[in-house]
Structure 1
Amino acid sequence: MPPDDLNSTAAKLRQQLAEQLAADGSVRSPLWRVAVEAVPRHEFLPRYFVETLGSGPTTWSPISPELVGVDEWLTIAYSDQTLVTQFDGDPADWRAPAPISNANPTSSSTLPSLVVRMLEDLDVRDDMSVLELGTGTGYSTALLCHRIGDQNVTSVETDRDVSHQARTALASCGYYPRVLTGDGQAGYPGAAPYDRTIATYGVRSVPSSWVEQTRPGGLIVTTLRGWMRSLGLVRLTVGGDGSAQGPFLSGDPHFMIARQQEAPAGLGMIPGPEDGETRETGYGSDVLTGESGFVAQLAMPNARFFAMTTDDGSTATYALDASTNAFAVLARDGAGWSVRQGGTTRLWDDVERSLSLWREAGSPPPSGFGVTVSADAQHVWLGDPDGPRWTLPQ
C-alpha cells in the first residue's frame, strides 16, 4: 500500500475509533477525542500478537503487515483491544514468527478505551506536569504529549528494549517527552513534583515515592491488584501531610502486575490430606471469583488459589499463602461445603469475616470502597475511611 493510502486509511480508522470511544463513554471531553484522532496507534504497533480464542492453552497469533496484509494489520491496530508485544520479558523473534502458547505477556498496548478512560480520570489541564509509570509501546505517552505538550510528560519504563522502542516510535510521530529506563516504583525525582501521576500497570500497594513526588492536591491514578486478581482502578488525592486518599472507580481493569511485585514462582507447601482442622463453611469456592473475589483478595492479600483432583476423585480448591504457609482447602460436603485450614493464620476465617461485612453493607461493587495511604500503612476501606478496613501488603 502506498504511504499516502496507508496514512489516509489510518486516519479514517482513528476517526472510527474516536467515535466508538465517545459512544461508549470512554472519551468524555473534546480535547481527548482530538488526541485519539491525531495519534497514529499503528506507529507504536509495527508488529504485535492477538489472542486466539479456542480450547486448550491460551495462544497468541503474530500480526504484521507482511503476515496478514496492511489492511488487516491496520484494522486490528485501531480496534479496541489489548495487543501484546512481548512475552516473558524477551523480545519476540520476528525472523520466524509463529503462534505463541504457554507464555506470560509482559508488555502490550492496552485497549484504547481503558487508556483514554484513565487519562480522562486523571483530570489533566493545560501545562500540567505528568509522571507516567509504564511507558509500554508509548501510545498512551503520545496521547499525553498531544494533550499537554511533550515537555510536560515524564515516562518511566522498566524494560530497556521496550523503552528504546517506545522512544523511537514517539520520535517518529514528533513527540520528545522525557522517557527513562528504570524501576517505575521509584518514580523519577529529577522532575518532581508532578501535578498528576498515572501508572499503566498494577501494584499491590501504592509506592511511597509516587505520593512524595506528586504535589499536594495532585492526583494519582493507578490499578491496585493482588496475586489472585485485580482489585480495580483508584484515584487518590495527595494531602499536604504526605498521605493520599480516594475511591475505587467503576470498572475492573486488568493490568499486568509490576515485575518487581510478581508472585513467587512457587505456590507454597501443598498440605497433606491429614493436615489442618476441618469444619463446615457457608461459603464455597465460587466466592473466590466475581465481585466477592474482590473481598476475598482483600482478606487473603498474599494467597493464591487453584483446583486439584484429590485421591478420591473429587475436586478440592486450595488457597495457599506462600509467605506464611497458611492454607485453606475447600471441598464439597454433601449439599454444602467444608474447609480444612492450617498454618499461622486461618485464611478462610478471614474470608468469612470479610464477606459478612461486605454483605451486611449490601454487597457493593468495588466503587463502594476506597483507599487511604499513609507513611506507615495502607488500607482499603468500605463505605468511608472510618468503616471496615483491610491492610494492603507493603
Structure 2
Amino acid sequence: MTEPDLATELRHEFAEQLAAEGKLPAQWRDAVEAVPRHECTPAFYVPNDAPGITTYVPITPKLVGDEAWLRRVYSDETLITQFDGRDIDWSDPQPISGASPTSSSTLPSLVVQMLDALDGDDESTVTEYGTGTGYSTALMCHHFGPEKITSVETDSGVADRARAALDRCGYAPRLITGNGLAGADRTEPADRTIATMGVRGIPWAWVRETAPGGLVVATLRGWLRSLGLVRLVVEDGQHATGQFIAAEPGFMMARQQEAPTNLGMLPADDDGKTRETAHGPGVLRMPDSGFVAQLAMPNARTFDMAGDDGRMRTFVLDAANESFAVLSEDGDGWSVREGGPVSLWGEVEQSLALWYAAGAPATTEFGVSVEPDRQLIWLENAAEGPSWRLPIAPGS
C-alpha cells in the first residue's frame, strides 16, 4: 500500500470512528473523508505522558516513519505547530519544555462541532478568523466551496504555510494576513462567521461584517480559563444575541488579547484586611464555579506560592486596578486578605451566590448579548436577570 492510499484509508477509518462516537455530524462526514489533514500538518508536536513539566515531542515522517506519522495525523488530537509565536526549525526539531503553544491543528471533533454550529447551506458565505494550519479552512472549502470562504490569520509565517497547504489540497479561498479583531475588510457581509481562537469579548467588527440573521460562532475565554463556545444571531447590525453551546473548548487566546507578562505588584504580608470566607481557591478550579469566578473578575490572574511559614497561599491579582486577594487556610476553613479599590473575592462571592440562587446552572444555560459598546453574559433574562460585563475587544 502506498502512502497516499494509506492516508485515504486512515481518513475513512477516522471518520467512521468519530461517527461511531457521535462526534461527526453527518453533513460533515464527506469533508472529513476528503480533506487530507496530513497536507496541513507535515510536522507537529504532541505532549508526552511523563509526569512533571509538560514536554512536547516532535512528530515527523523522518523521525517516526510515514505510517506512525499518518496514524497520529488521523486521530482526534490537537497537533501543535508553533510555540511562543516563533517558527520551529524542522530540519532538526528537538523536544520542547516550558513553552506555550501558539498555533495548531485543533482537535478535529471540536472543529466539526463548530462547523456544524454554523448551520450553513449551499449558498452560505463564511469568514473564518484564525486560519492556523488551514485544516478547518479546507473542510469549509470542501463543504461550501472555496469561493465562499474568507480566512484571516494574524501570523504571516503561519499564513504562508496555510496558503501552501491549501494549495496542495486543491483549494484557493480568499486568504488575508492581518489583525482579525479588526475584521476581514469585506465589501459584503458574510452569512456566517467563525473564530478558531479565544477572545475576551466578541470584536464588534465580526458582528458588523455578518449579515442580519447570520450567525457568529466563537470561543469566549478569560485570563483564568476558557468560558465556552457561543453562537450568536446578528439581529439588526446593532445587536447580536445567543448563548453558550458548549463549555471550555480549548482554543488559544487571540494574540492581541493575551494577558500582560507583568502580573503587577505582589502585596506585602501586612497589606489589606483579612476576613473569613466560605469559598477557598477550589472554586477557581472547578469547571462551573470557575466559569462564574472568571465572569466576576475578568482582569484577574491567580497563582499559588508558599509564604514564609511554608504554607501555600493562593494569590489573585488584578493588574488593571491593582486590587488583590490572598487566600489562606484557616483551621478547617479559609481566610482572605484583600486590598485595592475592588473587593476581588467579594465579587466572586457575590457572583457565586447569584449562581447558587439560580440553581447552579451549567454553562449552556447562560446567554450572551453583544452591542457596539457593551457585552453581557446573563442568566434567565437579559434585561432583568443576573449579568456580568465582558471586556470590549481592542482594535475592533
1:164 matched to which residue of 2?
Answer: 160
Measure, in 2, the Cα distance between the counterparts of 1:138 and 1:334: 53
Residue of 301, 311, 319 corresponding to 2:298: 301
2:268 matched to which residue of 1?
Answer: 272
Q: Offset at 1:191?
A: 4.1
Q: Offset at 1:84?
A: 0.3
Does the aligned pair in 2 maintain the 1:203–1:224 contact within 8 Å? Answer: yes
Deviations 1:296-343 (A, max 9, x none): 000010000011000111111000001111000000000010000000
Residue type of the partner of 1:168? A
Does the aligned pair in 2 maintain the 1:130–1:154 contact within 8 Å? Answer: yes
Measure, in 2, the Cα distance between the counterparts of 1:256 and 1:231: 12
Does the aligned pair in 1 maintain the 2:44–2:58 contact within 8 Å? Answer: yes
1:12 matched to which residue of 2?
Answer: 9
Q: Does 1:315 align with 2:312?
A: yes
1:157-236 equivalences under 5 Å are 157-236=153-232
Residue type of the partner of 1:120? D
Deviations 1:95-139 (A, max 9, x none): 221100111111000010000000001111102100000000000
Structure 2 SS opposite 1:306: strand
Q: Does 1:21 align with 2:9?
A: no
Does the aligned pair in 1 maintain the 2:207–2:237 contact within 8 Å? Answer: no
Measure, in 1, the Cα distance between the counterparts of 2:185 and 2:22: 34
2:332 matched to which residue of 1?
Answer: 335
Q: Offset at 1:219?
A: 0.1
Q: Offset at 1:23?
A: 2.2
Q: Offset at 1:383?
A: 2.4
Structure 1 range deviating more: 4-13 or 274-283: 4-13
Structure 1 SS opposite 2:2: helix
Structure 2 SS opposite 1:250: strand
Unaligned runs of at least 5 residues, structure 1:
none
1:376 matched to which residue of 2?
Answer: 373
Q: Does 1:100 align with 2:86?
A: no
Residue type of the partner of 2:245? L
Measure, in 1, the Cα distance between the counterparts of 2:187 and 2:119: 20
1:87 matched to which residue of 2?
Answer: 83
Does the aligned pair in 2 maintain the 1:228–1:305 contact within 8 Å? Answer: yes
2:37 matched to which residue of 1?
Answer: 41
Residue type of the partner of 1:355? L
Q: Offset at 1:188?
A: 1.0
Measure, in 2, the Cα distance between the counterparts of 1:324 and 1:147: 47
Measure, in 2, the Cα distance between the counterparts of 1:58 and 1:294: 25
Does the aligned pair in 2 maintain the 1:127–1:149 contact within 8 Å? Answer: no
Measure, in 1, the Cα distance between the counterparts of 2:132 and 2:259: 21
Measure, in 1, the Cα distance between the counterparts of 2:187 and 2:25: 29
> Which TM-score applies when normalising by structure 1?
0.97
Residue of 132, 135, 140 corresponding to 1:139: 135
Deviations 1:49-70 (A, max 9, x none): 0111222211110010000000
Residue of 321, 326, 330 corresponding to 1:324: 321
Residue type of the partner of 1:158? T
Q: Does 1:240 align with 2:241?
A: no
1:389 matched to which residue of 2?
Answer: 387
Residue type of the partner of 1:18? A
Does the aligned pair in 1 maintain the 2:227–2:247 contact within 8 Å? Answer: no
Q: Offset at 1:275?
A: 0.3
Deviations 1:11-54 (A, max 9, x none): 1111111112222322222x310000000100101000011122
2:126 matched to which residue of 1?
Answer: 130
Does the aligned pair in 1 maintain the 2:208–2:237 contact within 8 Å? Answer: no
Deviations 1:172-216 (A, max 9, x none): 111000011000111212343000000000000000100000000
Unaligned runs of at least 5 residues, structure 2:
none
Residue of 332, 345, 357 corresponding to 2:354: 357
User: CA RMSD, aligned part only?
Assistant: 0.9
Structure 1 range deviating more: 188-197 or 157-166: 188-197
Does the aligned pair in 2 maintain the 1:369–1:384 contact within 8 Å? Answer: no
Structure 1 range deviating more: 380-389 or 210-219: 380-389
Structure 2 SS opposite 1:171: helix
2:281 matched to which residue of 1?
Answer: 285
User: What stretches of structure 1 move > 3 A for 4+ residues in a row?
Assistant: none
2:245 matched to which residue of 1?
Answer: 249
Aligned pairs, how many? Answer: 390
Measure, in 1, the Cα distance between the counterparts of 2:36 and 2:247: 26
Q: Does 1:150 align with 2:161?
A: no
Q: Offset at 1:241?
A: 4.1
Measure, in 2, the Cα distance between the counterparts of 1:32 and 1:7: 22
Measure, in 1, the Cα distance between the counterparts of 2:232 and 2:251: 18
Does the aligned pair in 1 maintain the 2:126–2:193 contact within 8 Å? Answer: yes
Residue type of the partner of 2:101? P
Structure 1 SS opposite 2:127: strand
Deviations 1:214-259 (A, max 9, x none): 0000000000000000000000000114210001012320110000
Does the aligned pair in 1 maintain the 2:186–2:209 contact within 8 Å? Answer: no
